[in-house]
């Protein structure tokens, strides 16, 4: 009777989820996942073959790189994230999403706005701020959608029937509120009201707020929910969750200026950025201990658990990528690494290797549930996992090594043009790594599409109840 009651309870929670809405967001997210990383491979090949796309302005590096950066952040990651939030928020609050029908026009507004933004960037309409290149009308669209989803989430949490707030909801509320404030700074104030060295300082903060106060807590939302659910084990430590949350909130707001060491920005601001960058080891290591602790007693089933494999692989990339990010904030390390591919290694290991991979893990978990089907092919999914893992690992190691060689050659007085010759093999390897990642993602999307077309399979008894038992 107890098992039956639990099963009915979880069925009730499933009934709170608007499945077509989740599907709409995830379909768009998979579209961006296919398209925008491909821009990265396309432009990486230019380092070895600079003329292979011809001289058309729309196909130059300066036009395509913003498509890649903004497309991965706002397209691939953020779109998948919003879709997964429409799945997990009702389940964690015990009520339907507030004004859930609003999610449909928001999905179309967001994604058609991104399509228009990508075309605008390709035709040269660019505000010139990294991660803030999109034209003002598109910034307004992004702000409206994020603000509307923030209101939806806050009102849903306020109406919840579950008295306790699970850690995913802490991070979700914080990420949305922080990002609404950051978009006001980066979209409506920074490009028009701040100039000179102050603009550089505030841009350093803005871009890091995108990474650290949007992508990072949003990624935590996903792994804190889907890792316990996928391995059917409670989260390892509530206290570590508290430490991770509040240390991120305390330390991250000061980090962004570490990109501008040795600049005219005040020394005290640079030093504060260095100190808080090192202190980020606290939230990183505490949340990672929580994730790996959650796997205790579940490693024996890890090989067949595709969502957990993506989530844990992303955690390993997070460990290495954030270690890079902290140490490169030190003046002695930044001397040989600034303006080199070492920084590009860090950004790929974290933004893609961690957060996009966590979004993929959540999608692989949710997709069969919202379509009432088993994943079409575990074998194909496993190939996707290893191709993506191989690609991002190779890229991280390759760019780290190439960046260090690049920096030390410059410090030794090597002419810049001569240093490029030594980097050609590294750039070729980066392109190969990107192709591996793209093939892996293409196979993954194909697998998910075939899952939709496959014959529905009934879920094994108790499988639905197991998800709720993990919290």
Region 369-379 average pLDDT: 95
Which of 41, 42, 50, 88 minimizes the C-alpha distance to 362?
A: 88
Encoded tokens for 74:
């706002």
**234-238 CB contacts, 8 Å cutoff, 24+ apart:** 234/294, 234/470, 234/471, 235/167, 235/290, 235/294, 235/470, 235/471, 236/289, 236/290, 236/291, 236/292, 236/293, 236/294, 236/296, 237/289, 237/290, 237/293, 238/167
Are 186 and 143 within 8 A, CB to CB? no
Instruction: Give the whole-angstrom CA distance, residue 148 versus residue 146.
Output: 5
Please count the other Cβ atoms lying within 10 Å of the Cβ belonging to residue 127.
18
| Whether residue 465 has pLDDT greater than 70 | no
Instruction: Give the whole-angstrom CA distance, residue 138 versus residue 156.
Output: 27
Instruction: Give the whole-angstrom CA distance, residue 456 versus residue 461.
Output: 15
Residue 259: the pLDDT is 87
39-74 confidence digits (pLDDT tens):
999 999 999 999 999 989 999 999 999 999 999 999
Q: What's the whole-number average pLDDT of the chain?
A: 93
Which residues lie closer than 8 Å to 14 by C-beta, 6 or more apart? 91, 369, 464
Banded model confidence at residue 202, pLDDT cuts 50, 70, 90: very high
Residue 330: the pLDDT is 95
Residue 5: the pLDDT is 33
Banded model confidence at residue 9, pLDDT cuts 50, 70, 90: low
Instruction: Kindly list the distances between the CA atom of residue 405 and the CA atoms of 256, 340, 430, 434, in Å, as whole numbers in the listed order.
Output: 25, 9, 15, 21
Q: 3-state DSSP call for residue 411?
A: helix
Instruction: Name the most confidently modeled range: 143-147, 413-417, 467-471.
Output: 143-147
Rg (CA), the chain: 22
Please count the other Cβ atoms lying within 10 Å of the Cβ belonging to residue 249.
16
Instruction: Give the whole-angstrom CA distance, residue 112 versus residue 109.
Output: 5
Q: State what percent of residues in the chain have pLDDT above 70.
A: 94
| Whether residue 445 has pLDDT greater than 50 | yes
Region 31-41 average pLDDT: 97
Which of 60, 65, 15 minimizes the C-alpha distance to 39?
A: 65
| Whether residue 457 has pLDDT greater than 70 | no
Residue 454: the pLDDT is 83
Which of 247, 215, 243 minimizes the C-alpha distance to 355?
A: 215
Instruction: Give the whole-angstrom CA distance, residue 313 versus residue 361.
Output: 10
Identify the residue whose tokens are 């491979």. 41
Instruction: Give the whole-angstrom CA distance, residue 256 versus residue 209.
Output: 8
Residue 158: the pLDDT is 97
Are 357 and 317 within 8 A, CB to CB? yes
Region 455-459 average pLDDT: 59
| Whether residue 461 has pLDDT greater than 70 | no
Identify the residue whose tokens are 């990294």. 130
Instruction: Give the whole-angstrom CA distance, residue 131 versus residue 182.
Output: 12
| Whether residue 467 has pLDDT greater than 80 | no
- Structural domain spans, the chain: 2-468
Region 224-235 average pLDDT: 96
Which residues lie closer than 8 Å to 78 by C-beta, 6 or more apart? 214, 218
Which of 311, 209, 321 minimizes the C-alpha distance to 257?
A: 209
Region 62-88 average pLDDT: 97
Strands (E), 323-420: none
| Whether residue 232 has pLDDT greater than 80 | yes
| Whether residue 10 has pLDDT greater than 90 | no
Encoded tokens for 128:
């010139």
372: left (phi over 0), alpha (psi -120 to 50) or beta: left
| Whether residue 468 has pLDDT greater than 60 | no
Which of 9, 173, 11, 183 minimizes the C-alpha distance to 85?
A: 173
Encoded tokens for 121:
């960037």
Q: Has domain 2-468 been given CATH number 3.30.70.120?
A: no
| Whether residue 1 has pLDDT greater than 90 | no
| Whether residue 19 has pLDDT greater than 70 | yes
**How far is CA 208 from its chain centroid?**
13
Residue 463: the pLDDT is 43
| Whether residue 455 has pLDDT greater than 90 | no
Furthest CA-CA distance within the chain = 76
132-157 confidence digits (pLDDT tens):
999 999 999 999 999 999 999 999 99
Region 429-457 average pLDDT: 94
Q: State what percent of residues in the chain have pLDDT above 90.
A: 91
């Amino acid at each position: 009777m107890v098992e039956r009651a639990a099963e009915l309870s979880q069925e009730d929670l499933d009934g709170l989820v608007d499945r077509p809405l989740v599907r709409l967001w995830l379909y768009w997210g998979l579209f961006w996942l296919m398209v925008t990383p491909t821009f990265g491979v396309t432009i990486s090949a230019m380092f070895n073959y600079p003329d292979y796309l011809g001289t058309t302005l729309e196909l130059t590096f300066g036009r395509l790189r913003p498509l890649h950066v903004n497309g991965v952040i706002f397209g691939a990651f953020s779109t998948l994230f919003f879709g997964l939030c429409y799945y997990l928020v009702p389940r964690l609050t015990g009520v339907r999403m507030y004004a859930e029908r609003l999610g449909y026009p928001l999905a179309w507004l967001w994604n058609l706005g991104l399509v228009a933004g990508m075309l605008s960037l390709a035709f040269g309409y660019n505000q010139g701020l990294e991660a803030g290149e999109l034209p003002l009308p598109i910034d307004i669209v992004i702000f409206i959608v994020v603000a509307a989803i923030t209101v939806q989430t806050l009102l849903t949490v306020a109406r919840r029937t579950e008295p306790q707030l699970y850690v995913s909801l802490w991070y979700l509320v914080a990420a949305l509120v922080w990002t609404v404030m950051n978009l006001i700074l980066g979209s409506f104030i920074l490009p028009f009201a701040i100039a000179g060295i102050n603009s550089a300082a505030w841009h350093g903060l803005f871009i890091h707020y995108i990474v650290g106060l949007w992508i990072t807590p949003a990624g935590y939302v996903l792994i804190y929910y889907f890792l316990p659910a996928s391995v059917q084990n409670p989260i390892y430590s509530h206290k570590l969750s508290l430490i991770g949350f509040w240390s991120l909130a305390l330390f991250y707001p000061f980090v962004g200026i570490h990109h501008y060491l040795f600049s005219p920005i005040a020394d005290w601001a640079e030093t504060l950025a260095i100190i808080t960058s090192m202190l980020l080891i606290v939230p990183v290591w505490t949340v990672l201990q929580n994730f790996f602790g959650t796997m205790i007693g579940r490693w024996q089933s890890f090989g067949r658990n595709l969502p957990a494999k993506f989530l844990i692989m992303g955690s390993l990339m997070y460990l290495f990528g954030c270690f890079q990010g902290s140490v490169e904030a030190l003046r002695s390390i930044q001397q040989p690494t600034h303006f080199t591919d070492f920084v590009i290694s860090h950004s790929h290991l974290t933004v893609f290797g961690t957060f996009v991979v966590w979004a993929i893990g959540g999608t692989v978990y949710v997709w069969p549930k919202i379509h009432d089907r088993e994943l079409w092919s575990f074998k194909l999914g496993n190939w996707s996992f290893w191709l993506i893992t191989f690609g991002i690992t190779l890229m991280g190691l390759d760019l780290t090594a190439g960046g260090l060689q690049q920096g030390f050659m410059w410090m030794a007085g090597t002419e810049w043009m001569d240093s490029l010759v030594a980097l050609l093999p590294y750039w070729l390897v980066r392109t190969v790594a990107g192709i591996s990642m793209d093939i892996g993602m293409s196979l993954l999307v194909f697998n998910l599409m075939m899952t939709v077309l496959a014959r529905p399979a009934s879920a094994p008894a108790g499988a639905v109840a197991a998800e709720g038992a993990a919290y």
